[in-house]
Chains A and B, each alone.
Chain A
């Protein structure tokens, strides 16, 4: 399959542990943020989003935290599973402007 994770920051995590993936964004006016997951050879899939009027949002096994003061976004994955191995991208936008994507973080789950 396609490898999009070459030379990316890599997080290795034991199966069952929690994962935290971090993202620093650049535009202080960004008001909408998204996390995507991309498995090898596939297109990115939406995981969770958050607006700037919130600092935390939870989904199924995932939580996104937003710290606007330091322009930092994180994705927490609870009880990491082998199927969570992928590249994770954060993206930001201001108003209805187009999304700006980060370079991605590779997550490798060790069975």
Chain B
């Protein structure tokens, strides 16, 4: 089945540690996105990538980094510079076409800083 897979589902981190969240899709989608979700909040865009080896900052990129070495993969690193990293992280992807922006989401990764 085609889909988008995030791992791990739950991750615990000590303060000062970097952690990397995995996102893989086999939908042959061009663009991939990382969102952060906090309780009672909408989705806030961290980073996105429309082609391999290229990515752009979203609205809350500080303290995060990404790479897009393969079309299928868009890992997110939460660095120690992120002051409040505890959140639910969602990866999404879409096929780039004219005027349609339907995103397919993964199941999410819950990061907790101890």
Contact B90 A101 (CB under 8 A): no
Contact A34 B42 (CB under 8 A): no
Distance between A10 CB and nearest chain B CB, rounded to angstroms: 11
Contact A96 B39 (CB under 8 A): no
Asked whether A103 is an interface residue with its Cβ less than 8 Å from the other chain, the reply is: yes
Interface of A is mostly: loop
Interface string of A17-51 (1 = CB under 8 A from B): 00000000000000110101000011111100101
Asked whether A111 is an interface residue with its Cβ less than 8 Å from the other chain, the reply is: no
Q: Which single member of A7, A34, A46, A49 contacts B39 (CB below 8 Å)?
A: A7
Q: Which residues of A contact B100 (CB under 8 A)?
A: 32, 49
Which size class do B's interface residues fall under?
Answer: 20 to 34
**Given known contacts A8-B40, A42-B107, A101-B43, A31 and B102 CB-to-CB distance under 8 angstroms:** no
Distance between A51 CB and nearest chain B CB, rounded to angstroms: 7
Measured in the bound complex, the distance between the Cα atoms of B18 and A17 in whole Å is 48
Contact A103 B40 (CB under 8 A): yes
How many residues on chain A are close to B (CB under 8 Å)? 29
Asked whether A65 is an interface residue with its Cβ less than 8 Å from the other chain, the reply is: no
Measured in the bound complex, the distance between the Cα atoms of B10 and A77 in whole Å is 32
Some 15 contacts from A to B, beta carbons below 8 A apart, are A4-B37, A4-B39, A4-B88, A5-B39, A5-B40, A7-B40, A41-B108, A42-B108, A43-B6, A44-B90, A46-B103, A95-B99, A96-B101, A98-B45, A101-B42
B residues adjacent to A (C-beta < 8 A): 6, 33, 35, 37, 39-43, 45, 48, 58, 88, 90, 92, 96, 98-108, 110
